[in-house]
Amino acid sequence: MPSRTKPIRVMLIDCRPLVLMGLHDLINGRKPRMEVSGQATTYAHALDLADQLRPNVIVFSFFPDALDPLEVISLLTRSAEMKVLLLKGLYEAVPVGRAIDAGARGVVLAEDPTESIVRAIINVHHRDVGLDRAWAGGLSGCAASGHVHLNTDPYHAKHAQLTSRERELIRAIVGDPSAKYMSIAARLGISEHTVHNHLSSIYHKLNLINRVDLLMYALKHGLTGNEDPPESTWVEMD
């Protein structure tokens, strides 16, 4: 009889019923690879439930509550077997850097495609570290000012795989971190579908999870501009 891999047990923490319902259906739709083991709408209930269920990944949202969400993340991640994946909206003011310092292993945008959320859960479950804590805290300031201190890094081989079009897309995202994909597509003269295709290729080449991961990676490793424009123009390849 073939061996059966245990599913990734995912716990959901959010105060919005519609968000919980959507995540529940998304994750349980990926059985047997992953399944929802429980969900909580308050942080106190989340702590009790996590202690009972011992989930592998906890999808965590910030919301008004009697308990401090950063302290809750710290308590949840005292056990190495439970990894917190922060879910945030593109326009939500969430202290990502402090959440990473508290123990969160990754960040995913609520506006990202559903497959990106699924991939983020899988990656956070299997990776020891989801984001670099040393520089995640400076993300917002660096993105706004366009200035970041860069150290020489050993990632040139990875970056060499990027096409001129992919580099142009990265620069567009870094130049306006809050821009919607539709806006980026219009600015580059391509379809939103093509933007998603190129982003998937970039994520694969750089071993990243999502747009937040890409933004921080680009800021750290200098993929932010000051390069000659690509010789070729964008071509639709849908």
Domain ranges of the chain: 8-136, 146-221
Rounded-to-integer distance, Cα 172 and Cα 52, Å: 45
**Positions of the chain with pLDDT under 70:** 1-4, 127-156, 225-238
Topology (CATH) of 8-136: Rossmann fold (3.40.50)
Looking at residue 219, what is its pLDDT?
Answer: 78
What pairing do the DSSP bridges indicate for beta strands 34-40 and 8-13? parallel
If DSSP states are collapsed to H, E and C, what string results for the chain?
Answer: CCCCCCCEEEEEECCCHHHHHHHHHHHHCCCCCEEEEEEECCHHHHHHHHHHHCCCEEEECCCCCCCCHHHHHHHHCCCCCCEEEEEECCCCCCCHHHHHHHCCCEEEECCCCHHHHHHHHHHHHHCCCCCCHHHHCCHHHHHHHCCCCCCCCCCHHHHHCCCHHHHHHHHHHHHCCCCCHHHHHHHHCCCHHHHHHHHHHHHHHHCCCCHHHHHHHHHHHCCCCCCCCCCCCCCCCC
Say if residues 22 and 36 touch (Cβ distance below 8 Å).
Answer: no
Looking at residue 154, what is its pLDDT?
Answer: 54
Looking at residue 146, what is its pLDDT?
Answer: 41
Looking at residue 143, what is its pLDDT?
Answer: 41
Rounded-to-integer distance, Cα 161 and Cα 232, Å: 16
Looking at residue 25, what is its pLDDT?
Answer: 97
Looking at residue 67, what is its pLDDT?
Answer: 95
Task: Give 54-108 pLDDT, tens digit per residue.
Answer: 999 999 999 999 999 999 999 999 988 899 999 998 778 888 878 888 888 888 8
Looking at residue 20, what is its pLDDT?
Answer: 96
**How much is the pTM?**
0.59
Rounded-to-integer distance, Cα 238 and Cα 232, Å: 17
Rounded-to-integer distance, Cα 227 and Cα 155, Å: 17
Say if residues 158 and 118 touch (Cβ distance below 8 Å).
Answer: no
* Structural class in CATH, domain 146-221: mainly alpha
Looking at residue 4, what is its pLDDT?
Answer: 63
Among all chains, which residue has been given the structure tokens 């965590």? 60
